[in-house]
Amino acid sequence: MSFLRRFTDAITLEESDGMKNKDLVPIPIDRRKWGFPAYLWYWGITSLCAVTWSAGSSLLSLGLNGNYAMGIVVIANAIISIAAALNGYYASRYHIGFSVYQRVIFGIRGSCIGVLIRAILSVVWFASQAWLGGLCVNVILSSWSKSYLNWENTLPESVPMTSQELCGFVIYLVLTFPFLMVPPQYLDSLLAVATFMIFFMGIGITAWAVHFNGNNYGSLMNEKMSLSSSDMGWAWMYGLSSWYSSLTSGIANQGDYSRYNKSTKGCMYGIVLGTNLPGFLVPLFGILTASALYDKYGTYYWMPNDICMRWLQDNYDSKSRAAAFFCGLALVVSQQGVNTVGNCISGAMDLASLCPRFLNIRRGSVLVMLLAWPTQPWLFYNSDSVFLTVISSFSVFLTPLIAIYICDFYVIRRCKLKISHCYISSKESIYWYNNGINWRSIISFAVGVAPGLPGLINAANPSISISSGALHFFQGSFIFQFAISFCVHYALNLFLNETVGEPDKTDLFNTYKPAECKHYNLIPYSTTNSTDPAIGASEKVFSEEEIMTVESVH
């Protein structure tokens, strides 16, 4: 009962209103616990998961061999690391998350645009990754019981899943719930464990596959290609765009975790190293394993959980069961890490910003998990649905957003944000713009998205033909859309100048250490604090009146 009471009272014990609660205001000092290793683990597990393991197949389907595919991975990861570092710096500096930053970009009322786009994506990707997590749970249970491995499906043929898949999905969601109760600043431990487990699992499976094939990694790496020079160029462009698209959500999510940093430098170094090192190794593992096993089985195994199930089906002895169990355990833990942090909690932060009076991260996370059921992720994998193709192309919407964020923060505002005004829902806020909406950002977003829509429609329904120009634009959308939105946003702000405002003069939320206050020329929190002792210094959330009063005094 005490646990349930603590959960249900989580909001009422915090100061909250229609604009903020404890999870939305800048992170106080005592919650800034992520150092360099945490960001290494964050991007490590984003790369070291089952989806990234299998992503090499999409590059090879373009007519490229393994060597060229890995070249694309190296270049794309470099681009992703730069985009993530740039997109996360506002959070490293001001310790606000993605959803609050939308108020700067789109206005106090218009912020729901960026928030809803990412919230929808978070729910869908959580459901999709949870379904894969359920398949990994089945690897563990199948290693325990041969009856479970051979469980006869009792569901009607009209239901696009089996009894075993449904059981694994339910168990995965049950296992997820406890992690949703952990504050985000402590989840770096989960990411560290998951990264180590899945890394050594990848080495083990790859080494076994190559050894199993007579110490031969197969032909995929050096397979002869038959593409013309023009087709080769567009294959590279589309490959870069495809790889970038698979990690776009991680770029957008970066701010949600950069705000927990102990230092800005540690955060940036962790992003760059975590993106490029694991991001290179895992797709290499996937291609080498699929290539070696094709020589033995005559079919490509792109998902590591499928390889484990093949072990059990071929030979249900102690060695195969032990290998399947430990690999399945690593896969389940990795799915918990990437899905809880990368999808569920990020989506929860978005939902909390829409209803801060009633939702915090904890409640929002539970809501995202429950929405996995109406999302019906089993349709993504067990039917002819093209939904995964569409979602994988969702960078059509996210790339223009990222371009606007970078242009607005670095070029228009020159890294200056007045954070206190993000929590004022009136024309007194410099982010009120025109009735709470920044039309410049909306126009920049719409102009950037529009040219990519024909390609997205064609991806959803290939029977709808589009021009070669529209197709090539879609293939290189991560460059073309970024450039369009960036330039349009800059031009609109250049000719329709808006007051940028100066940063706050005081540390209103106990966000900065003494040395940081000195560096940023801020009046320390202790100088202006009038905190109720029952709440505690780091729990204080100022009201609009208090914010405006303190700023006017100083």
Tens of pLDDT, residue by residue over 515-551, are: 989 988 999 987 655 443 333 344 455 555 555 555 5
Token pair in block for residue 149? 């491995």
Residue 9 has pLDDT above 50, yes or no: no
Question: What is the average per-residue pLDDT within 112-139?
Answer: 91
pLDDT at 421: 92
Question: What is the average per-residue pLDDT within 34-43?
Answer: 92
Q: CA 42 to CA 486: how far, in whole Å?
A: 28
Q: Where are the alpha helices (DSSP H) in 186-317?
A: 188-212, 229-246, 248-258, 264-297, 304-314
Q: Residues of the chain with pLDDT > 90: what percent? A: 45
pLDDT at 245: 79
Tens of pLDDT, residue by residue over 73-95, are: 889 889 999 999 998 999 999 99
Tens of pLDDT, residue by residue over 165-184, are: 999 999 999 999 999 999 99
Question: What is the average per-residue pLDDT within 275-290?
Answer: 85
CA neighbor of 238 nearest in space, from 395, 466, 346 = 395
Amino acid identity at 194: A
Q: CA 480 to CA 295: how far, in whole Å?
A: 40
Task: Report helix angle 318-339 to 188-212, nearest 10.
Answer: 140
Residue 335 · residue 133 · CB < 8 Å? yes
Token pair in block for residue 64? 């490229």
Q: Following CA atoms 397, 400, 401, 404 in sequence, which dihedral angle do they give, to the nearest 10 degrees?
A: -170
Question: What is the average per-residue pLDDT within 306-314?
Answer: 91
Residue 255 · residue 96 · CB < 8 Å? yes
Q: CA 453 to CA 445: how far, in whole Å?
A: 13
Q: What is the pTM of this model?
A: 0.87
- In which band, very low, low, confident or very high, does the pLDDT at 294 lie, cut at 50, 70 and 90? confident
Regarding predicted confidence, which is higher, 1 or 333? 333
Residue 298 has pLDDT above 50, yes or no: yes
Residue 386 has pLDDT above 60, yes or no: no
Mean confidence (pLDDT) of the chain: 85
Residue 244 · residue 80 · CB < 8 Å? yes
Residue 322 has pLDDT above 60, yes or no: yes
